[in-house]
Amino acid sequence: MGLLTKKRKDANLIKPNDAIGGIMPFIMPKRTESEVSSQMNINITKLVEYVDNYNKENNEYKMTYFHALTACFAKTFYNRDRLNRFVKNKSLYERKKITFAFVAKDKLSDSGEERIICLDILGNDNIKTLSRKMAIDVFKVRKEGTNSMDSILNIFTKLPKFILSIIVKIVMFLDNHGINPKALTEGDTNYASLILSNLGSIKSNSIYHHLNEYGTNSIVATIGTIREENNEKIVDLQITLDERIADGFYFVKSIQLLEKIASKPELLEENFKNKIDVEL
């Protein structure tokens, strides 16, 4: 790893699938100018039924609809590997692991502080093990009131502005070359494969969320409230992504797979790494 190499500790350098993919990082070198966003409605009637039935039979902890939707994304990522890519320094990389990030509030009020949670999504996880992990991590963060990334940010923000400005420039430089220390990348949402924002928890519709130049995150999804239409449960999603990591056809097929998984939640009981053999 270093300034004279394109190797990274968190990802493997890969060759773009076509000439267009190879030239795009030079035409659009910034992630924020390469983002596309789409809003969609997904029928999650079967998924809601699955969660409700699970909670009737299990009293240890409560599986939430957000847990189930996160599992749908996890299964999709394991079946659509190009989603786990990012562009840095005009080069295309594929992450060595899948990590999802989201934010939990201490309490659902204006005064409630936001706590960052990053989860490694393992291939042998399924909806039940993932739900348990999410429930435990949210409980832990709310109980302890902080995590390692919160602690680091608190230290930085107490520094004088001119010193903080210099530190941020150094960190951005290290980030651009893939040599940021683990303490600054582990637990940071900006390095996650997917950032999920559960706006339904505060009774809000999904909204557009921008990408960042810092870090390696290429996909952000916001989840709105679940509503009922013609006796069906519908949720609206807004997904923003870096179009340089794959072509539009690939993204459309990935969304169709996400919808298919939500309509067949029994697929989520298998390991996420198990490939789905369905016609889209």
Residue appearing with tokens 């190879």: 22
Of all residues in the chain, what percent carry a pLDDT higher than 90?
62
Place of tokens 């557009």: 208
CA distances from residue 166 to 119, 146, 152, 159, 170 in whole angstroms, order as listed: 30, 26, 16, 11, 6
pLDDT at 70: 97
- The whole-number pLDDT of residue 45 equals 97
HSE, CB side, 13 Å, CA atoms: give it for residue 186.
7
The predicted pLDDT at position 147 comes to 58
Identify which of 42, 57, 5 has the alpha carbon closest to the alpha carbon of residue 236: 42
In a domain? residue 274: no
What contacts 127, CB < 8 A, 6 or more positions away?
Answer: 63, 67, 68, 71, 265, 268, 269
User: Average pLDDT of 107-135?
Assistant: 82
Structure pTM? 0.90
- pLDDT-wise least confident of 39-53, 156-170, 229-243: 156-170
CATH number at residue 159: 3.30.559.10
Q: Is residue 16 part of a domain?
A: no
> Distance between CA atoms of 117 and 105, rounded to whole angstroms?
10
The larger pLDDT score, comparing residue 158 to residue 107, is at: 158
Give the confidence band of 153 by pLDDT, cuts at 50, 70, 90.
Answer: confident
Instruction: Give the domain extent around 249.
Output: 35-84+97-269
Assess whether pLDDT exceeds 70 at residue 278.
Answer: no
Q: Which two tokens stand for residue 274?
A: 């198990």
Report the C-alpha gap between 100 and 119 in whole angstroms. Answer: 5
Per-residue pLDDT at 181 = 85
- Total domain count, the chain: 1
What percentage of the chain carries pLDDT values higher than 70? Answer: 89
Which DSSP letter does residue 195 get?
E
CA distance 100 to 72: 12
pLDDT grade, residue 81 (50/70/90)?
Answer: very high
Q: Is the pLDDT of residue 242 over 70?
A: yes
Handedness of CA 38, 43, 44, 46 (dihedral sign): negative
Residue 258 included in any domain: yes
Query: Counting every residue, how long is the chain?
Result: 280
Instruction: Please check whether residue 233 lies inside any domain of the structure.
Output: yes
C-beta separation of 190 from 31 below 8 A: no
Mean pLDDT confidence for 130-138: 90
CA 202 from centroid of its chain's CA atoms: 19
d(CA 272, CA 74): 7
**71-85, 129-143, 157-171: which is most confident:** 71-85
* Domain presence at residue 160: yes
Domain assignment present for residue 277? The answer is no
Question: In which region does residue 72 sit, left (phi positive, over 0), alpha (psi from -120 to 50) or beta (all else)?
Answer: alpha
Closest CA to 12 of 178, 225, 222: 178
* pLDDT confidence of residue 18: 86
Does residue 26 register a pLDDT over 90? yes
Looking at residues 13-38, what average pLDDT do you find? 92
Cα 101 off chain centre by: 5
In 3D space, the residue among 129, 168, 65, 152 whose CA is nearest the CA of residue 271 turns out to be: 129
Selection from 6-10, 19-23, 264-268 with the highest mean pLDDT: 264-268
278 is a domain residue: no
State the pLDDT at residue 83. 97
Residue 157 resides in a domain: yes
Residue-level pLDDT at 158:
82
